[in-house]
Structure 1
Amino acid sequence: MRYDWTPLWRSTIGFDRLFNVLDEVQRTAEESFPPYNIERLDENRFQISVALAGYTPDEVTLTAEQNVLTLEGKKAEKEEKTFLHRGISTRNFKRQFTLADHVEVKGARFEDGLLLVELQREIPEAMKPRRIAINGITPGKVTQIESKAA
């Protein structure tokens, strides 16, 4: 079931992104192909594993744009075959992953029928916490400010 957010759009201001995220979550829940896993390798490294049995690297494109990673597959049927049972999907697909800020794609490779996408969170130096020195008067030492005698 798909929910229509239109009535809420009319009565809210500044929640555009929230409704876009809710719509995306709902749309993603409805998509089921290709199956995938998202794994945390350590605090700042992640891996997306996508089951792509029967696809070659030439039939798959991976695009990173802003905070969205898009995976598309276009299966090229080379010849007409007669199947008695067809359980391996060869359909075209498009799956998108929303990446958090400062998460970058470091590489991708095919391994044992899986597309493995390596991700790394790299927080810029300017955004990392840093210790600030506090300057002040050293205890026991009094500093007099210039003054005129009355």
Structure 2
Amino acid sequence: MSLIPWHTSGPSRALLDPYLGFRLDDDDLLAPLTLAPWETRAPWHRQVRRPRESYNYESLLPTNFGSNIKEDKDKFQLNIDVQHFLPDEIKVTASGNTLTVEGKHEEKPDEHGSISRHFVRRYVLPEDHDLNHLQSHVSTDGVLTITAPKIPADGNVARTIPIQHTGKPKRVILKHK
């Protein structure tokens, strides 16, 4: 039996929190609107309100880490944020079913001094896509789009078969006497 109570939702629990207790809750945004001007919240209000396990931390994570992959029935599309690179500083290579995107620029001055950037990303493309017809485009806002069309399956492709007229009847029609 312990003489000191241990609360899992107390201030020490914030040490195990990946956001170190600095996350925004619904009450942080709505409480200033609902409280009267003379009411204040105690600083410990956040710790005793509810256990931290009930919060969905994944909703705070960014959903786009610089690249976005989309595959549909017609094509494979890859969007990469390359806004810090000029088009001639980006290289896209395909080897087998591996696509490599590399961006590199030497040291450039910026508002804080100078910076050099370099990245290499490798993607494994699906086998049912035509790697010989890869296309890449850079938009004006710095998004590199790479597309690979899907190879049509032989059994699913409908094709028209031409009909040829031979001029000769296949059946012989007998005349009755």
Match of 1:73 in 2: 103
State the TM-score, normalizing by the size of structure 2.
0.44
Q: Is the 8 A contact 1:68 1:99 kept in 2?
A: yes
Return 5+ residue gaps in structure 2 as ranges: 1-64, 158-177
Query: Is structure 2 residue 142 aligned with structure 1 residue 113?
Result: yes
2:88 to 54, 58, 61: 58
Higher RCO (CA 8 Å, separation ≥ 6 residues): 1
Query: Is structure 2 residue 76 aligned with structure 1 residue 46?
Result: yes
The letter for the 2-side match of 1:117 is I
Larger Rg: 2
The letter for the 2-side match of 1:75 is H
Q: Give 3-state SS (helix, strand or coil) of 2:88's partner.
A: helix
Q: Is the 8 A contact 2:84 2:142 kept in 1?
A: yes
Q: Give 3-state SS (helix, strand or coil) of 1:101's partner.
A: coil
For each residue in 1:34-63, what CA deviation from the matched residue of structure 2 results, as whole angstroms up to 9, or x when unmatched?
7100123x4121211100112111111101
State the TM-score, normalizing by the size of structure 1.
0.51
The letter for the 1-side match of 2:148 is L
Match of 2:121 in 1: 95
- Cα distance, 1:75 vs structure 2: 1.1
Q: Is the 8 A contact 1:54 1:90 kept in 2?
A: no
The letter for the 1-side match of 2:149 is Q
Q: Is the 8 A contact 1:38 1:47 kept in 2?
A: yes
How many angstroms apart in 2 are the aligned matches of 1:118 and 1:95? 16
How many angstroms apart in 2 are the aligned matches of 1:56 and 1:92? 12
How many angstroms apart in 2 are the aligned matches of 1:110 and 1:75? 17
How many angstroms apart in 2 are the aligned matches of 1:76 and 1:49? 24
How does 1:19-34 map onto structure 2 within 5 Å? none
Q: Is the 8 A contact 2:106 2:117 kept in 1?
A: no
- Closer/same/farther in 2, CA of residues 122 and 62 from structure 1, 3 Å limit: same
The letter for the 2-side match of 1:44 is D
Match of 2:3 in 1: none
Superposed CA RMSD in Å reads 2.9
Match of 2:68 in 1: 37
Q: Is the 8 A contact 2:91 2:102 kept in 1?
A: yes
- Cα distance, 1:92 vs structure 2: 0.7
Q: Is the 8 A contact 1:60 1:73 kept in 2?
A: yes
